[in-house]
Amino acid sequence: MSNRERHSGAVTLRGSVTRSSTADQALLDSRGRPDWKTKDAWRTLRILSEFVEGFETMADLPPSVSVFGSARSAENSAECRLGYELGGALARAGYAVITGGGPGVMEAANKGVAEAGGLSVGLGIELPFEQGLNDWVELGIDFRYFFVRKTMFVKYAQGFVVLPGGYGTMDELFEALTLVQTRKVTQFPVVLMGTSYWGGLIDWLRTTMLGEGKISKEDLDLMMLTDDVDEAVNHIVNTSETAP
């Protein structure tokens, strides 16, 4: 998609009317915006409409798994190959797969699912450097607000699989872990794929975070670490609330 085309909810902007700010930014980055006191209250209606659209569209999904990973990985990278294999294996196990609908690992996972005949879902986000949903998404929703979109990833999935990624991926991982730790969601498997990528983080969680008493021993057991696609899928099947 050209940089001169932007989507903002139902609105498409091209050419001279494209703008570089996003709805999320307008809400959160209110410093220096004199009208925020009056306008933010009305923004709640737009936020509400995203929840309505998301809930209505997602409610009929079969059992699903959300898959996360880097937007920047090259198509032939190890993590994209893993994402592709994982997408296919989840589809064959009967799951729909939900991703962020973007490039990199998300695209690889969507491709794996679509090619295996499964349902490939993408929850896109409006970004200043938007690229649009990848070509392998079959059911796609574009969100303006990160926090609305994140609700959908958790609410409509039986579990998470997290592949190598950056801040966005870490955000999604730690949100899920916090929700499970605080029992906001129960019976929700979280699988980390890529032992060499995540190994350093797991060591730090054990030695520093657990070592200094910031989490409990059981909290470390809330996620499973593997390189093996079948092991990841079996873990989801055996520990999630609803199997396909």
Contact footprint for ligand ZJS (CB under 6 A): 68-72, 100-103, 106, 124-125, 127, 131, 165-169, 172
Identify which of residues 202 and 210 has a Cβ nearer to ligand ZJS in the complex.
202
Type of residue at 221:
D
* Contact in structure between 131 and 125 (CB atoms under 8 Å): no
Return the axis-axis angle of helices 78-92 and 229-239, rounded to nearest 10°: 40
In the complex, minimum distance from the CB of residue 225 to ligand ZJS, in angstroms, rounded to a whole number:
18
Identify which of residues 168 and 194 has a Cβ nearer to ligand ZJS in the complex.
168
Percentages (nearest 5) of helix, strand, coil residues in the chain: 45, 15, 35
Identify which of residues 94 and 166 has a Cβ nearer to ligand ZJS in the complex.
166
233, 52, 224, 55: which is closest to 155 by C-alpha? 55
Identify which of residues 63 and 132 has a Cβ nearer to ligand ZJS in the complex.
132
Q: CA–CA separation, 145 vs 123, rounded Å? A: 11
In the complex, minimum distance from the CB of residue 233 to ligand ZJS, in angstroms, rounded to a whole number:
19
Note the helical H segments in the chain. 23-28, 36-58, 78-92, 105-115, 146-155, 167-181, 195-204, 217-220, 229-239
Type of residue at 13:
L
Type of residue at 162:
V
In the complex, minimum distance from the CB of residue 151 to ligand ZJS, in angstroms, rounded to a whole number:
13
Identify which of residues 139 and 210 has a Cβ nearer to ligand ZJS in the complex.
139
Identify which of residues 124 and 189 has a Cβ nearer to ligand ZJS in the complex.
124
CA 135 to chain centre: 17
In the complex, minimum distance from the CB of residue 68 to ligand ZJS, in angstroms, rounded to a whole number:
4
Bridge-partner residues for 124, per DSSP? Answer: 142
Q: CA–CA separation, 63 vs 240, rounded Å? A: 10
